[in-house]
Amino acid sequence: MPEASQPSSSFAAEPQAQDSIGFRTLLKKEVMRFWSVLGQTVTAPVITALLYLLVFAQAMSGRAPVYEGVSYTQFLIPGLVMMTVIQNAFANTSSSLTQSKIMGNLVFLLMAPLGPLEWFAAYVAAALIRAFLVAVVMLLVTIPFVHLPLEAPLILILMFLLSAGSLAVLGLIAGITATKFDHLAAFTNFFITPLSFLSGVFYSVHALPPLWFKASHLNPFFYMIDGFRYGFFGKADVPIWQSLSWATAFFVTVSAVCLWMLISGYKLRK
């Protein structure tokens, strides 16, 4: 049996380099986690979204175009992509953190020299990667059948980052708060799913009765989807500055809450 080697100085690294390695490791671990169950984390949501597309596009095919020169199917795809993106960004962070808490392996992270910002950035970045994969696969699958213009690509990227980022952060908040899977399911079923379905994915809010029209404008997911759609068509239900403002404000608000939780150790460190 070989002897245990002397604790050596060969692991020396500058503190900042060590912090960077820590962040990159946590990011890699989070990506590996969803990558190891790709069928469940990417393929399944894409198939579900494509089924929605198939059914709704077929059922609504006779309707007048929502915007001038934009067919219903064209209108539907960006909304479905964004809805899937936000649901998966939320699922990635929330399920990872909740599982770690419930299985107890979160202690590995809690005992490690990783700060709140590194946690935040690594978890959110991993969720963005999963959301990006889901979006790209959905668009690649639909491109052969439906032509989508790309009027404002920078807006498209910005809305993707703000929306997926916000939901990833919201997932972190849910993961920190939840003490059992029931809590997470309640958060998803009573908050994320209803708000994403009632956000103008399948229709223009201008087609709604006045009360629901006004209610839709209080739903932050509506601005995420409307702004994302603007990136494709250069037109949307509300002015783009309004969507960008809402999405930015939502991201800043949830990020502030989440960082406070991580810094204070809320429900993580007793």
109-138 mask for other proteins (x: CB under 8 A)?
A: xxxxxxx-----------------------
Query: Whose Cβ is closer to other proteins: residue 112's or residue 150's?
Result: 112
Query: Whose Cβ is closer to other proteins: residue 11's or residue 241's?
Result: 11
What is the Rg, in whole angstroms, of the alpha carbon atoms belonging to the chain?
A: 21
Residues within window 27-46 making contact with other proteins, judged by CB under 8 A = 28-29, 32-33, 36-37
Q: Rounded CA gap, 255 and 168, in Å? A: 10
CB of 121 to other proteins, least distance (A): 14
Are the C-beta atoms of 159 and 102 separated by less than 8 Å?
Answer: no
Amino acid at position 84, single letter: T
Query: Whose Cβ is closer to other proteins: residue 15's or residue 210's?
Result: 15
Residues within window 83-102 making contact with other proteins, judged by CB under 8 A = 100
Q: Does 69 bind other proteins (CB under 8 A)?
A: no
Q: Rounded CA gap, 260 and 89, in Å? A: 20
Q: Rounded CA gap, 8 and 13, in Å? A: 12
Q: Does 259 bind other proteins (CB under 8 A)?
A: no
Burial class, 249, CB count within 10 angstroms (exposed 0-12 / middle 13-18 / buried 19+): middle
Q: Does 17 bind other proteins (CB under 8 A)?
A: yes
Burial class, 217, CB count within 10 angstroms (exposed 0-12 / middle 13-18 / buried 19+): middle
CB of 43 to other proteins, least distance (A): 17
CB of 109 to other proteins, least distance (A): 7
SS3 (DSSP) at 113: coil
Where would I find the H helices in 67-152? 72-103, 106-110, 116-142
Amino acid at position 166, single letter: S
Are the C-beta atoms of 81 and 154 separated by less than 8 Å?
Answer: no
CB of 80 to other proteins, least distance (A): 29
Name which position in 51, 54, 59, 108 contacts other proteins (CB under 8 A): 108
Q: Does 58 bind other proteins (CB under 8 A)?
A: no
Binding site for other proteins (CB under 8 A): 1-13, 15, 17-19, 21-22, 24-26, 28-29, 32-33, 36-37, 100, 103-105, 107-115, 265, 269-270
